[in-house]
Structure 1
Amino acid sequence: MASLSFPHVRGSNSFSPIKTLPTSLTTQRLRTRVGFLRVVADADANAKHPLGEPDLSVTVNGLHLPNPFVIGSGPPGTNYTVMKRAFDEGWGAVIAKTVSLDAAKVINVTPRYARLRAGANGSAKGQIIGWENIELISDRPLETMLKEFKQLKEEYPDRILIASIMEEYDKAAWEELIDRVEQTGIDAIEINFSCPHGMPERKMGAAVGQDCALLEEVGGWINAKATVPVWAKMTPNITDITQPARVALSSGCEGVSAINTIMSVMGISLKTLRPEPCVEGYSTPGGYSSKAVHPIALGKVMAIAKMMKSEFNDEQYSLSGIGGVETGGDAAEFILLGANTVQVCTGVMMHGYGLVKKLCDELKDFMKMHNFLSIGEFRGASLEYFTTHMDLVRRQQEAIQLRKAVKKGLQSDKDWTGDGFVNESESMVSN
């Protein structure tokens, strides 16, 4: 296990998951799953750098990361070479591209990406603000990916490698896949309950994440089998993202990741009248990411964080924020809303693996500006400032009345002046 010499511990989970699992039972299950690693996490969150330099390290579900920046599942984690590059560049953790038992089912097309730039649709100029993909999960044989997981863990025993997995609606298949990835020494598992395209007819990806009853059942299978921490990756393509997040946590997951990409049609070429990305003249809706989705992702993460805070002991669960992160400030926003880690995928595809150095420097600059020495000092700090519209109206009305009260008359005897004596007297008359 990364940076810790003792193995993951995860208790058995034979009960049927329920949506209203009592807090005491949840706490007990989590303690048996990762044991006294929670103590390490609490101590690490409050650590102060001896020289007063901001400390970016975080400990999440017993896993120690040098910084909160995680390679999100996708092309940047597609094979040994690129994942090794990510570790060498200094990423806090790597989530590999999603794997399943039978890669032969996965047939990708090309081109499979399309970009949206600021300005006229289809413009070759302007900043890239949106990115669509119609890419499927890994098309490499599972045996090859497992071999590379094992090699990475042997070469980087103190770094965090997370396997992203997805399977059909088949308990035995899920159990086999979990067993095989865990044998490689990976540190945690992220369950892809959220891929918006490809193989929904097999009850894979978002087909599970959008069906809470199905998610509850499959989540129960997974958490009964897994012996390492499990994160559930949530789809934004749903009315209320807190519902599947709640079910995932109640079924035994240690954390949730949000958001996966947003179902979209990137655009239509006004020259050819064909949709993008264009494959032999045709296309299909795909997943939207990059800077344009950042505000949407913040809203979804805020909703999940508030739910976790009110219904669960959020210190015992983790939240990984995803969506349009290209700067340290983008990451700080997710952490201020309660995220423990921040995932980057499209940002790496556009800016390269060296982006992590910029992200770390900019996050440290933010922390210095506010005199924060650890991530734990500001995680969730902005969450309390979200309320209902009705409450905003009440607060503003009270503020207006207070300002009127302050302006009405003098506040103290020392405020009387000779020049304005009559007007000052009049200002305090009530009728």
Structure 2
Amino acid sequence: MADLSINFAGIKAPNPFWLASAPPTDKAYNVVRAFEVGWGGVVWKTLGEDPPAVNVSSRYSAHYGKNREVLGFNNIELITDRTLEINLREITQVKKDWPDRAMIVSLMFPCEEAAWRSILPLVESTGADGIELNFGCPHGMPERGMGAAVGQVPEYVEKITRWCKQYSRLPVIVKLTPNITDIRQPARAAKNGGADAVSLINTINSITSIDLDSMVARPIVGGRSTHGGYCGSAVKPIALNMVAEIARDPATQGLPISGIGGISNWRDAAEFIALGAGSVQVCTAAMLHGFRIVEEMKDGLSRWMDEKGYASVADFCGKAIANTTDWKYLDMNYQAIAQIDQDKCIGCGKCYIACEDTSHQSIHQLIQDDGARKYQINEAECVGCNLCEITCPVAGCITMLAQENGKPYMNWTQDPRNPRAEVVT
């Protein structure tokens, strides 16, 4: 059976599934319940200076799909609203009771050396395994010069990271904000400051919806609202890209990454790990479905690893990085065309409408003698864009087939159609 245990930046855990710093990790009661059902670690909800932050009511909103499926989740909750003394006491006890689980403490303090120098020994005395620097919170705290206000300035990221490495022996994980043009810049700064790892992504600035009766965005607080942090399955593609950018950047290559963003099942986790994440953090899925989802996550990942012959998480960590590149290095001579499995086709015509109206008019609609519709690919016109495959409601009905054309690999830097192509001799 596959071994799910990990050693992430020197932090050991029985499995890679950690709860992210958020409401689910705000107190000992929640964390103990999480450990009881099998979570490998937690990042305790962000601690700050006393007096603690004060939250508002309401705090959450959502972006829904069909049947009220929550696609994206928005929150305007701040860091912990409990005192430092209570949090530190509970962290100490939980770590004592659960020594095999990863206990990471998230921190957010002003950009002042004295503040960081004071808190770090207190956290270290709890027995925690590491600290995570919250440089990502996009709401409330940036207005106070913290959170994303720090994460968006690489110089600040490097400076505070260096302070934490100077005043603490614990592994330092820097949590990055996605609300930035180039995620590689703060990641490089974190590494330059001595970070042992980075975690990403934190939440994305968002307004999920407007109540058109009151003309107020949700969540509504006394007739007004504000932007919040967006998370959930909708942000997964953005998170995967940012993880990949750091994993394949020569300046940060090899820097451990804790992947966050829309992880809802074992497959999501496997994708993050394949792009270089050594651990994964979950929040929204646990809030929507409860802590027991980790049981399916562990079981599913273990079964898949057994099927693929991976004995440990490290065996496939980063496997997809080498296959992720810049657009200009893609093979211009590669060609694929769509193929419709007529036995699976239900004749809905969604592929035809999508292709005819918005793509390349490469699907023929044929009306049979009995009035039934049949759809066929016009191979001469098909550019292999995948739109028909995506719109088809039947899995496996439309597939993309690679075409043998006898042409060698040629990327855009070599393509003679590129006015700036490199001369190949």
Q: Does 1:137 align with 2:71?
A: no
Question: How far does the alpha carbon of each residue in 1:233-272 deviate from its partner, in whole angstroms, 9 at most, with x for none?
Answer: 0000000001001110110110000000000011101233
Say if 2:161 and 2:172, in contact at 8 Å, map to a contact too.
no
Pairs within 5 Å for 1:11-410: 53-104=1-52, 106-119=53-66, 125-307=67-249, 310-312=250-252, 314=254, 317-394=255-332, 396=334, 403-405=404-406
Counterpart code for 1:362: G
Deviation at 1:403, TM superposition (A): 3.4
Secondary structure in 2 aligned to 1:197? coil
Question: How far does the alpha carbon of each residue in 1:252-301 deviate from its partner, in whole angstroms, 9 at most, with x for none?
Answer: 11000000000001110123322100111110100000011011111111
- Paired with 1:89 and 1:200, the residues of 2 have a C-alpha distance of 35
Larger helix proportion of the pair = 1
Secondary structure in 2 aligned to 1:97? strand
Counterpart code for 1:116: H
Normalised by the length of structure 1, the TM-score is: 0.77
Question: How far does the alpha carbon of each residue in 1:202-245 deviate from its partner, in whole angstroms, 9 at most, with x for none?
Answer: 32111110011222222221211111100000000000001001
- Paired with 2:197 and 2:241, the residues of 1 have a C-alpha distance of 18
Corresponding position of 2:399: none
- Paired with 1:58 and 1:200, the residues of 2 have a C-alpha distance of 33
Deviation at 1:405, TM superposition (A): 3.7
In angstroms, what is the RMSD of aligned CA positions?
1.9
Corresponding position of 1:41: none
Counterpart code for 2:35: F
Secondary structure in 2 aligned to 1:135? coil
Secondary structure in 2 aligned to 1:369? helix
- Paired with 2:236 and 2:252, the residues of 1 have a C-alpha distance of 26
- Paired with 2:97 and 2:310, the residues of 1 have a C-alpha distance of 33
Question: How far does the alpha carbon of each residue in 1:114-159 deviate from its partner, in whole angstroms, 9 at most, with x for none?
Answer: 011104xxxxx32111100000000100000000011112211222
- Paired with 1:312 and 1:129, the residues of 2 have a C-alpha distance of 31
Corresponding position of 2:366: none
Counterpart code for 2:92: K
Question: How far does the alpha carbon of each residue in 1:31-69 deviate from its partner, in whole angstroms, 9 at most, with x for none?
Answer: xxxxxxxxxxxxxxxxxxxxxx11111111222211100
Deviation at 1:313, TM superposition (A): 5.6
Counterpart code for 1:90: G
Corresponding position of 1:413: none
- Paired with 2:215 and 2:252, the residues of 1 have a C-alpha distance of 50
- Paired with 2:143 and 2:60, the residues of 1 have a C-alpha distance of 23
Question: How far does the alpha carbon of each residue in 1:57-99 deviate from its partner, in whole angstroms, 9 at most, with x for none?
Answer: 1111222211100010011100011111111111111110000
Uncovered stretches (5+) of structure 1, i.e. residues with no partner: 1-52, 120-124, 407-431
Say if 1:100 and 1:177, in contact at 8 Å, map to a contact too.
no
Say if 1:231 and 1:253, in contact at 8 Å, map to a contact too.
yes
Question: How far does the alpha carbon of each residue in 1:404-424 deviate from its partner, in whole angstroms, 9 at most, with x for none?
Answer: 449xxxxxxxxxxxxxxxxxx
Counterpart code for 1:376: A
- Paired with 1:103 and 1:378, the residues of 2 have a C-alpha distance of 45
- Paired with 1:382 and 1:395, the residues of 2 have a C-alpha distance of 22
Secondary structure in 2 aligned to 1:96? strand
Secondary structure in 2 aligned to 1:196? coil
Deviation at 1:393, TM superposition (A): 4.3
State how many pairs are aligned.
343
Change (3 A) 1:235 1:313: closer
Uncovered stretches (5+) of structure 2, i.e. residues with no partner: 336-382, 384-402, 408-425
Larger strand proportion of the pair = 2
Change (3 A) 1:311 1:82: same
- Paired with 1:389 and 1:170, the residues of 2 have a C-alpha distance of 42
- Paired with 2:111 and 2:288, the residues of 1 have a C-alpha distance of 35
- Paired with 2:145 and 2:215, the residues of 1 have a C-alpha distance of 33
- Paired with 1:78 and 1:187, the residues of 2 have a C-alpha distance of 17
